[in-house]
A and B are shown apart, each in its own frame.
Chain A
Amino acid sequence: MKVILLTLVILASLLIIASGIWVGVALIRALSLPRRPEPPARARGDDGQA
């Protein structure tokens, strides 16, 4: 029981670190994507006469 509790705590820490790495990789991918070109004013529903 004593060892199980400590093991669970260590496992939880490792899972959080793993999820941090997963999300970090996704962030790097998202930031390195090139931006799509700006749509023309009409396609945005904006007639430029605000």
Chain B
Amino acid sequence: MDTLLSVGAVIVYVIVLTFVALRARVAREYEEFSVAKRILPLALVFGSITATYVGPGFSIGFVDKGFRSGFLFWIIGLAYAIQNISVGLLVAPRLRALKGCYTLGDAMGQKYGPRCQILAGIISVGLCTLFSAVMINAGKLVLHEMLGLPPWVSVSLLAVVAASYTTFGGLRASVTTDVFHFVLHALFLPPVLLYVLLFRFEGGAAVFFQQAVSATTEGFQSTSPLQVVSLVTLFLLGETLIPPYANLTLASKTVAVSRGSFILAGLFSALWFMVMIALGIVARTMVPPDVAQDHVLMSLVKGMMPNVGYALLLVTLVSIVLSSLNSLLNAGAVVFTQDIIRRFADLPDRVALRAGRCSTILVAGVAATAAMFVPSVIEGLLFCYSIWAPAILPALVIGLWMRQPRPWAGMLSMIVGTLVAVSFKLPFFSRTEVPPILPALACSLLAYALGHWAQGIYRRSKK
């Protein structure tokens, strides 16, 4: 009966998803494929940003954290809200105001020259592919739980479904399906909390408060201050303006839309984390304490909701994975076409569009293959976060604010940031408790200053 319900829920979900993807229509021009003709309104950009960041970590992972450490991770998660609001206030409007930009690499190219654009493109494509592999890996686990599919079938299914509508519809299809998924998350998970609180939870406000306090105390006791600092840094910087968000900024209708959507997405994340953490706290009185990691949400819904609720939860979890995956595939493909292929060949619009579509399939294929070797979802995400911030952020943010940034500074900062972040993952350094993002970011900033100073001296000596 359960399997029948799950299959039924999946069929209904696939039908609605196909309808939404088809209504988004096939992209006919490269500008439509890459930046949706820069006409996206506030609600769609906001919905797409939130659907992209609400991945398995911010749903299943946060419920688990609420169960084990109460509001500790809500406090840490506030760094993520601050990051989004800061991007909305300080970075997104400046990025959107640049003319003729299709990617973050284009912005780097305008500020630091074509070599920096290619380097930014290579880093971005690599990270989009890695992030996609991590998402496919998470989806593989959900599909196994849901339908008992073998890993290679789940991986192929996810990659084919996400790549199919992203290949033809480009960013517009990615955004509309993201928004559909956002509606699904927003209208399913908070009502689960309300249902459990109102009809199944015994003890009311007093027991909820007592469970929250004891879980949060346990959380602070089991987490060292250095771990808290490292987590706050990762939440603050790790996902800042990664390619899917940068593409959404550039696709916003106006500068005000790009600013507003990030500010709203930041505020939304604080609310979302609170609800996920509360689900975890509520589960403490209903789920056995030795429940397997990342299974708290599934156990809670399975035990407390009617069968159809569990089937809907599993569909919501698949949609959470797909909404992050399609944005990453589209961003990876656009970056590959714009920052790498188009730097070496002057492509007419129709050929660029075709190249974008082929790149989507390529990124999906590589990510699906890599997904079979990703050891864990959280480890994979942390690795990607550790590289992105030091490699790109210092050069990008300083470049957007400085009047005449120097190419050597950008190049040196990207190379040093990437190398230090990767080398801190080697066995020699990984034994230390220091998170790679901190030294890598410091080295990247130092390298930027060094490059800026060195090029200044070089220019003066040439004069």
Instruction: Give me 7 A-to-B residue pairs in the complex whose CB atoms sit less than 8 angstroms apart, sorted by A's number.
Output: A2-B208, A2-B209, A9-B278, A16-B190, A16-B272, A26-B179, A27-B47
Encode contact with B along A10-44: 1 for CB under 8 Å, 0 otherwise: 10111111011111111100110001001100001
B97 at the interface (CB under 8 A from A): no
The tally of CB-CB contacts under 8 A between chains A and B is 108
Closest to B182 in A: A23
Whether A13 contacts B275 by the Cβ 8 Å rule is: yes
The 5 closest A-B pairs by CB, nearest first: A20-B186, A26-B43, A13-B190, A2-B209, A23-B47
Encode contact with A along B416-451: 1 for CB under 8 Å, 0 otherwise: 000000000000000000000000000000000000
Number of interface residues of A (CB under 8 A): 35
A1 and B209 contact, Cβ closer than 8 Å, known pairs A16-B268, A30-B176, A50-B350:
yes
Whether B208 contacts A6 by the Cβ 8 Å rule is: yes
Tell me which residues across on chain A come within 8 A of B275, comparing CB atoms.
9, 12-13, 16
Closest to B194 in A: A13
Closest to A6 in B: B205
A contact set with B: CB distance below 8 Å: 1-3, 5-6, 8-10, 12-17, 19-27, 30-31, 35, 38-39, 44-50
Whether B194 contacts A10 by the Cβ 8 Å rule is: yes
Tell me which residues across on chain A come within 8 A of B182, comparing CB atoms.
20, 23
B41 at the interface (CB under 8 A from A): yes
Tell me which residues across on chain B come within 8 A of A50, comparing CB atoms.
348, 350-351, 354
Tell me which residues across on chain B come within 8 A of A21, comparing CB atoms.
187
Whether A17 contacts B190 by the Cβ 8 Å rule is: yes
A5 and B176 contact, Cβ closer than 8 Å, known pairs A13-B191, A44-B349, A50-B351:
no
B contact set with A: CB distance below 8 Å: 20, 23-25, 28-29, 41, 43-44, 46-47, 176, 179-180, 182-183, 185-187, 189-191, 193-194, 197, 204-206, 208-209, 212, 268, 271-272, 274-275, 278, 348-351, 354
A13 to B189, CA, bound (A): 9
A2 and B205 contact, Cβ closer than 8 Å, known pairs A22-B43, A23-B179, A46-B349:
yes
Whether B187 contacts A26 by the Cβ 8 Å rule is: no
Closest to A17 in B: B190
Whether B209 contacts A6 by the Cβ 8 Å rule is: yes
Of B182, B193, B194, B348, most buried by chain A (CB within 10 Å of CB) is B348
Tell me which residues across on chain A come within 8 A of B193, comparing CB atoms.
9, 13
Whether A23 contacts B43 by the Cβ 8 Å rule is: yes
Tell me which residues across on chain B come within 8 A of A20, comparing CB atoms.
182-183, 185-187
Whether B348 contacts A47 by the Cβ 8 Å rule is: yes
A13 to B: closest C-beta gap in Å = 4
A15 to B191, CA, bound (A): 11
Tell me which residues across on chain B come within 8 A of A12, comparing CB atoms.
190, 271-272, 274-275, 278
Besides A12-B274, A13-B275, A27-B179, 18 other A-B contacts (C-beta < 8 A): A9-B278, A10-B194, A12-B190, A16-B186, A16-B271, A17-B187, A19-B186, A23-B43, A26-B41, A26-B44, A27-B20, A27-B44, A27-B47, A31-B20, A39-B29, A45-B348, A47-B348, A50-B351
A18 to B274, CA, bound (A): 16
A43 to B67, CA, bound (A): 57
A46 and B348 contact, Cβ closer than 8 Å, known pairs A12-B274, A31-B20, A31-B23:
yes
Tell me which residues across on chain B come within 8 A of A2, comparing CB atoms.
205-206, 208-209
Tell me which residues across on chain B come within 8 A of A30, comparing CB atoms.
41, 44, 176, 179
Closest to B51 in A: A23
A10 and B268 contact, Cβ closer than 8 Å, known pairs A5-B208, A20-B182, A20-B186:
no
A31 to B22, CA, bound (A): 10
A7 to B: closest C-beta gap in Å = 8
Tell me which residues across on chain A come within 8 A of B194, comparing CB atoms.
10, 13
Tell me which residues across on chain A come within 8 A of B183, comparing CB atoms.
20, 23-24, 27
Tell me which residues across on chain B come within 8 A of A6, comparing CB atoms.
197, 204-205, 208-209
Whether A23 contacts B186 by the Cβ 8 Å rule is: yes
Tell me which residues across on chain B come within 8 A of A27, comparing CB atoms.
20, 43-44, 47, 176, 179-180, 183
A9 to B350, CA, bound (A): 50
Whether B47 contacts A26 by the Cβ 8 Å rule is: yes
Whether A9 contacts B348 by the Cβ 8 Å rule is: no
Closest to B29 in A: A44
A12 to B272, CA, bound (A): 7
A47 to B95, CA, bound (A): 31
Whether B212 contacts A5 by the Cβ 8 Å rule is: yes
B20 to A: closest C-beta gap in Å = 7
